[in-house]
A and B are shown apart, each in its own frame.
Chain A
Amino acid sequence: MKKTLLAGVSATFILSMAATAAHAQSIDYGAMEQLFNEPVTTSATGSPQRSTEVPVAMEIISADDIKRSGAVDLPTILSRVAGLDVLNWGAGASDVSVRGYDQAMSPRLLVLINGRQVYLDHYGYTAWATLPVQLSEIRQIEVVKGPNSALFGFNAVGGVVNIITQNPKFDSAGSINLTGGTNGYGELSVVKSVKLGDRFFARLSAGAAQMDEYGRAGSTVLASQVTDPARVSANLDTITQLTEKTELRVEGSWSNVQVSEAVSNYSYSPSKYVTTSVKATLASDTKLGLLQASAYETNLTAKQLVASQQARFENKLDVVSVQDLFKIGAQHTFRIGGEYRKNEVNTAPLAGGQLSYEVVSVSGMWNWAISDKLAVTAAGRYDDLSLSREGTFPAGYPAVTNAYWDRSIKKASYNFGAVYRPTQADTFKLTAARGVQVPTLVDLGAVQLRATAGPYTVGVIGNPTLAPSIVTNYEIGYERPLPGLDAKAGVSVFRQKTEDVKGQPTSGQIDVMPTAPGVLPLLSYRNIGDSKMWGVELTASGKIEGGFHWSGDWTFTDVDDEAAAGFSPQVRLAAFSATTPETRANVSFGWANAQWAADGFFHYTGDHKAYLSTGALVSVEDYVTLGGRVARTFDHGITLAVSGQNLTDGHQRQTAGLEVERRAFVTLSKAW
């Protein structure tokens, strides 16, 4: 595999070096943002675009928003984005989803740092504490709502979170942050960028945090299922200017964390993760367009408690991709790309097997600026996945061979968007998208365990015949600035359908009856039917003279599960119509002058049901959280801030697990 990676990188390097009369390369987000007076992004189509002109539903969280949030983790920041749902399992573990369908180890959200996936590919979820990024080095967080598989591939079905860090070539960064707080919270982070001459730029960041876990009072969580969260991470980001027009960006990261989290059957696990990644990206602006080739490898060790058994997954992912972005004439922008990825993981808790798949993908995008009022974008992607398995099977499992896993999944996805601006004030967006949520390696067979269900012993194994979940989404949105109020507002209506929803293995339903004496009955993942959702989102934000700003949003979703014959969404831990709150809303106020800044954030989540580890659903009453920050900036870049989360209650039930506790922090920062 390493030879393949090297060969790919070398070939593209030679291709790029051979290109002549190149012009420019990476995007200077800061300069673009200052020019257009709004954030810019490449997360909608792969092409640089202004945030107000992207043909998707997107919100961008700025570095200033992050700083003023007073938050110490990404899920807290994301919980304040319109339409996002967050399940807080503990002080260091959460699951995030877009417009419902949140669940333990939520697999519907694609999370990236600078385009490199950081969700854990063996099971398709994001352990947020493992992300090797310090909040102070983030330039912006781009949140795409709805499927965007045509650009990003599998998993981008509910939405995409792309975290863009400061670029060491364009952004001079330097800061140190020391935070202490209640519940034994302590954190130290350092970010520093350096420039060596005119051709080498680097940014190094590192951080560590530890905290006490929330108390178990009022929950069924056992002491053996929790641990005090802690995380350590480091990241190196370098850019080498190879020629005037070609640059090589190399990023490396490492993280080591432990958290108390809910695994997919809603049992708690004192989990430990170690991640490493190395990525190289070669970018050049040539007469053929903006050429980019990248290759990266991520490695994960995940130790979890699964059905009271220690599971250790070793997951390795290699990705090589190339793309060309070019404009033809005045009105047409194109992107063509190809990607190869190999993903492999061992079976666990029962070892002996190794699952892997290879995916070859081609993709394309066409943006047509028909007039100054109307632009349409069409993007498509085709993925060809080949699954395989090696190794042995546990005793008591049916007599199948590894050939049963020789399977191919071929799926197409698309994104279509039209942006219509009949006046300088009015913007209409119409989007249609089809995303593919491919089964994960764990779903397909990496999980192997033997468990007791009442008086019986059953086996659990992944299902290689599991079909991908297909998510189609249609949305119409309208936005309008209100200059008289120095504000803007928007409304959007969306409708979504998920076909072939994945249901979890459960002792409430045997999937494979014993075929012979001594063979275990088996539980597995199954496609249990469809689910439909429609919803509405209202957003508004503005500024008031004197340094004040405000924002508010309200999102309604109505989820309707349509089970296939013989399946119960509730039994299969996929009763999304019950577990998705109908409403969630945010209101924030802030004020700042040259020295002081004060911000407050109210968040409301409507009542909904939540799973216990037994598979039973219990009610969670609606709740309001309050977070805030007050900060004073002094000379020499020193800032002292007091912030808090969940300030309305000492203990608050947000899930069926640990109750979320009030937390307060004091942060001393120095920027240079």
Chain B
Amino acid sequence: MSKRNTRGVVALCALALAAAPLSVAHADAAKDVQVAGRALTFLENGPTGKAVLGVVFDPSKPASVAEKNAVMAAIGGGMSAGAVTLTAKPVEASAVPGVSGVAALYVTTGVNVGAAAKAKKIITIGSDTSCATSGACVMSVSADPKVEIVVNRAAAAAVGAVFKAAFRMMIREV
């Protein structure tokens, strides 16, 4: 193949690649919770075995309720995620100050329980990146189209959460 032809092939491939359709990614509750559960195992003294995830929702927000339902359905009677087996219980946002028996709180989109969770020293996980970047959550996770994990260092420090060093080098910290 001549060099001119080779360059032409390359340019064509690059154009085709850039123009290729990219379907719109959508949140998948089961995948997101999987990532959340596995990420928890990279905490120092993190949970092993059975761990209860409190799914925080605002009953006045249909989207929050829908996400809560999706997460509860995904976890069902138990979801294996690395070294932990997650079970879930729904927690209304207003009930967070009194919550107990949970390894972490999974915060549905549009709900902010950061202050209450910090007071209880409970790790909060959201599927919305802004939850972590704003400091309302310790960590945000999303699985599609690519696993993305964001940890808010200040929020983590506030609840005493310390992630393993290798894990910290592979995620985005803010």
Contacts and interface: CB of A to CB of B under 8 A. Distances in A.
A489 B17 contact: yes
Contacts of A538: 10, 13
Name the interface size band of chain A: 35 or more
A395 interface: no
A244 to B, nearest CB: 10
Contact of B166 (A27, A330, A480, A489): A27
Contacts of A32: 166-167, 170
B164 interface: yes
A480 B20 contact: yes
A224 interface: no
A289 B169 CA distance: 11
A582 interface: yes
A8 interface: no
Contacts of A372: 150, 172
Nearest to A35: B38
Interface string B43-69: 010000000000000000000000000
Contact of B38 (A31, A329, A582): A31
B164 A24 contact: yes
Contacts of A331: 173
A36 B44 contact: no
Contacts of B104: none
Contact of B82 (A31, A49, A558): A31
Contact of B44 (A23, A289, A326, A489): A23
A34 interface: yes
Interface in A466-491: 478, 480-485, 489-491
B22 A556 contact: no
B14 interface: yes
Given A24-B164, A48-B166, A330-B173, A35 B147 contact: yes
A24 B163 CA distance: 10
A556 B145 CA distance: 31
B162 interface: yes
Contacts of A48: 166, 169-170
A35 B3 contact: no
A540 B25 CA distance: 20
Contact of A37 (B13, B22, B147, B169): B147
Nearest to B10: A536
Contacts of B146: 37, 52, 424, 481
Contacts of B153: 330
A40 B35 CA distance: 16
A466 to B, nearest CB: 33
Interface in A419-457: 424-426
Contacts of B38: 31, 34-35
Contacts of B174: 330
Given A330-B174, A424-B145, A483-B145, A558 B3 contact: yes
A485 B1 CA distance: 29
A170 to B, nearest CB: 11
A413 interface: no
Given A48-B170, A583-B1, A327 B165 contact: yes
Interface string A352-381: 000000000000000001001000000000
B157 to A, nearest CB: 12
Interface residues of B, number: 41
A289 B172 contact: no
Interface string B134-174: 00000000011111101001000000001011111110111
Nearest to A49: B170
B3 A425 contact: no
B130 interface: no
Contact of A556 (B1, B44, B164): B1
A625 to B, nearest CB: 20
Given A330-B153, A478-B17, A36 B165 contact: no
Given A478-B17, A483-B22, A483-B25, A290 B10 contact: no
Interface in B70-124: 82-83
B146 to A, nearest CB: 6
Contacts of B145: 424-425, 481, 483
Interface in B14-33: 14, 17-18, 20-23, 25
Given A424-B145, A478-B17, A327 B25 contact: no
Given A556-B1, A583-B1, A289 B165 contact: yes
Contacts of B162: 23
A285 interface: yes
Most B-side CB within 10 Å, residue of A37, A47, A52, A369: A37
Contacts of B44: 23-24
Contacts of A40: 170
Contact of A35 (B35, B150, B165, B173): B35
A329 B157 CA distance: 13
A333 interface: yes
A275 to B, nearest CB: 31
A532 interface: no
Contacts of A485: 20
Contacts of B17: 478, 480, 489-491
Contacts of B167: 32
Nearest to B31: A37
Contacts of A52: 146
Interface in A24-61: 24, 27, 31-32, 34-38, 40, 47-50, 52
A489 B18 CA distance: 10
Contacts of A536: 6, 9-10
A484 B166 contact: no
Most B-side CB within 10 Å, residue of A40, A50, A491: A491
A571 interface: no
A47 B169 CA distance: 7
Contacts of B9: 536
A647 interface: no
A425 B170 contact: no
Contacts of B20: 480, 482, 485, 489
A426 to B, nearest CB: 8
Contacts of A369: 172
A23 B164 contact: yes
A289 B145 CA distance: 32
B173 to A, nearest CB: 4
B111 to A, nearest CB: 23
Interface in A42-93: 47-50, 52
A40 B148 CA distance: 14
Contacts of B6: 536, 556, 558
Most B-side CB within 10 Å, residue of A36, A289, A485: A36
A49 B173 CA distance: 14
B153 to A, nearest CB: 6
B169 A333 contact: yes
Given A24-B165, A481-B146, A536-B6, 20 more contacts: A23-B162, A24-B44, A31-B42, A34-B82, A35-B39, A47-B169, A48-B170, A52-B146, A290-B165, A325-B169, A329-B173, A478-B14, A481-B22, A483-B22, A483-B23, A484-B21, A485-B20, A489-B17, A491-B13, A491-B14
14 contacts: A23-B164, A32-B167, A34-B38, A35-B35, A285-B164, A285-B165, A325-B165, A372-B172, A478-B17, A481-B145, A483-B25, A556-B1, A558-B3, A582-B1
| Closest A-B pairs by Cβ, 9 of them | A330-B173, A484-B23, A24-B164, A35-B38, A48-B166, A536-B10, A36-B147, A483-B23, A425-B22
Interface of A: 23-24, 27, 31-32, 34-38, 40, 47-50, 52, 285, 289-290, 325-327, 329-331, 333, 369, 372, 424-426, 478, 480-485, 489-491, 493, 536, 538, 556, 558, 582-583
